[in-house]
Each structure stands twice: as C-alpha cells, then as structure tokens.
Amino acid sequence: MRLVSFGAAGAERPGVLRDDRIVDLLALDPALPSSWREILAADRLADVERLCARDVPARTLVPVAGTRLGPPIPNASKIVCIGLNYADHCREQNKPLPEAPLLFAKATSALCGHGDAIVLPADETVDVEAELAVIIGRRASRVVAADAEAFIAGYMCFNDVSGRKAQFSDRQWFRGKSYDTFAPCGPCLVTRDEIPDPHALAISSRVDDRIMQTSNTDQMVFRIPQLVETITRSMTLLPGDIISTGTPAGVGVFRHPPVFLAPGERVTITIEGLGTLSNPVRAQ
C-alpha cells in the first residue's frame, strides 16, 4: 500500500493512494484512529489493508490533483538521521568509512510535505540531501538486527535539507538540520511488502534540471537492520518514528564551486519504487 496524509497543514487525514485518487480512511471507517501514527500504534494496518482491498464508496475517494499531500507521518515523535552512511559520500569528502553509525536528530517541527515550500533562512547557505527514510511500525527497544524487519512499517523519500553555515559553525548538526521546512518527505509511505530489498534502489536529487546526486542505496555503509539495532540500544523507537538513512555523493557543499539553493528553484528527490518528492524553494 501507499499511505498518505492529506489536507491542510496541521489537519491532515490518513489515506491510501489508489491510482489518481485517495481513499479517505476516516470517511470509509470513522472508528479508525485519526492519524497513521495512531493506526500503527494500534496495530491496525492489516485492518486498513482489508478495508481498501474491496470496492469503496465513491464518496470516500478524493482526487490527488489539487490535494495537498503532507508528511506521511506529520506527528512523528522523532527523526533520527545517519551521517556518513554512503561510501561514495565518504569518498567525496576524503573521509574514511565510519566504524559505527553516526546518529544525529532533526526537529520534527521541520517536517513538511510534497509540494510544500522549502523556506531559505536569511544569511544561510542551504543544501539538498536525498535520503531513504524508514518508518517504524511497532515499539522497538533493544532490537537485534536479525529481527529488525518486523519493526518496519515502510519507506519513503526524504530530503535532509541542511543549513551549512549553522551546521559547520556550531560544530554539531542539530540547528542546521532543523530549520522549519527542512524535512520534506513523501509523497507517500510505501509499505514494506512492496519493497523487497531497500538496499538496491536507485536514488537521485535534482535542482531544477540539474542532476545533483545519482547513486544507489547499495552504497550504504550500515544497512537498515544494523541501524535499527544501534539506535534501539540507546532509545526506544515508537510507531511512526522516522530513520533517515544517509545521503549519497553529490551534495552542493562539496562541489567546486559549491552549489546552494536559491529562491525560485525546485528540488526533486526520486527513489526507485517510492516515487518522487518535489518542493519549490522560496526566501524567508
């Protein structure tokens, strides 16, 4: 299934994509929890699949065209990101492969959806990072890598937008990664059953017509099961939590000369099997 949260920011409803329409789950069954995070926490994903497998009334269908698609999980409790997790990204910085996963966080207030604007703060240099995100489906604590797949709900495109001035001047990454609108994701969450191998997906980013990144998730240094094990040794992951698994080579800051976002541009992230996430860029 392809799961979306649609509607105005702060008032998104859970839905399931069906071609060019969205099944409005709350119109189909008002007794369902009102967000994907709550549906996952209540272990109701299989119920949703059964509901959507049959014919649904026309009144429950919403056209995709003209409908805002917000972050698939608008109210995630946390976003855990992984630094230096692509071999080609390490090479472009002349850095050795890390010996263990490097974890950092983005503020959840940075989340925005497909088509929402990336807002450039004044006096900041802003960069694009295409990433594969993992969405947790069950409460996960001290999970071993061999069992990690059972805790994953699915995957989505993620843009780890980065304010490089803040990132490098602070000598840690939280502020530079957490400006409002710096976590575009979507357009949908693709359930785990539709992606047989998340480590064999083409991944790319473009700014307007310029290709910035083109790689494959097989470049990951630490694969998803190991990431889940490492993270859950230290913290409990909750249903709807997001793990953004790192970015490949081609980011703007390491180009010669560097390339940063400008108002009026459009950023496009594409991951094989997951679709395309597109966001315009505007000044603050």
Q: Tell me whether residue 73 is in a domain.
A: no
Q: Is 272 found in the same domain as 163? A: yes
96/187 same-domain check: yes
**In sequence order, which residues have a C-beta less than 8 Å from that of residue 13 and are 6 or more positions away?**
5, 6, 7, 24, 25, 26, 34
pLDDT tens string, the chain, 284 residues long: the values are 999 999 999 999 999 999 999 999 999 999 999 999 999 999 999 999 999 998 999 999 999 999 999 999 999 999 999 999 999 999 999 999 999 999 999 999 999 999 999 999 999 999 999 999 999 999 999 999 999 999 999 999 999 999 999 999 998 999 999 999 999 999 999 999 999 999 999 999 999 999 999 999 999 999 999 999 999 999 999 999 999 999 999 999 999 999 999 999 999 999 999 999 999 999 99
Are 50 and 147 in a shared domain? Answer: no
What amino acid occupies position 73?
I
DSSP state for residue 245 in the 8-state scheme: -
- Write down the pLDDT at residue 95: 92
- 139 lies in the same domain as 274: yes
| Domain co-membership, 155 together with 251 | yes
Q: Based on the domain organization, do 38 and 94 belong to the same domain?
A: no
- 215 burial level (CB within 10 Å; 0-12, 13-18, 19+): buried
d(CA 23, CA 185): 20
- Structure confidence at residue 35 (pLDDT): 98
Is 261 within a domain?
Answer: yes
Q: Which domain holds residue 233?
A: 79-283
pLDDT of residue 191: 98
Spatial contact of 27 and 15, defined as CB atoms under 8 Å apart: no
Single residue among 63, 91, 107 that ends a domain in this structure: 63
Distance between CA atoms of 36 and 39, rounded to whole angstroms? 5
Encoding tokens for residue 218?
Answer: 């097989």
Does residue 201 form part of some domain? yes
Question: Which pLDDT value is given to residue 157?
Answer: 99
For 70, phi then psi, to 5°, come to -80, -175
Residues 88 and 43 in one domain: no
**CATH number where 236 lies:** 3.90.850.10
Domain termination residue (choose one: 32, 63, 94): 63
Pairing of the two strands 210-216 and 202-207: antiparallel
- Same domain, yes or no: 101 and 39: no
pLDDT at 205: 98
87 and 53 in a single domain? The answer is no
Q: Kindly state whether residue 177 falls inside one of the protein's structural domains.
A: yes
Query: Do 6 and 86 reside in the same domain of the chain?
Result: no
Given 37, 63, 89, the domain boundary residue is 63
Pair 28, 35: CB distance under 8 Å: no
Is residue 158 located within the same domain as residue 182?
Answer: yes
H/E stretch holding 194 reads none
The pLDDT of residue 144 is 98
Total number of domains in the chain: 2
Q: Is residue 69 part of a domain?
A: no
Instruction: Flag whether the pTM goes above 0.95.
Output: yes
Coil, strand or helix: which one is 175? helix
Question: H/E element holding 98?
Answer: none
* Residue 56 shares a structural domain with residue 96: no
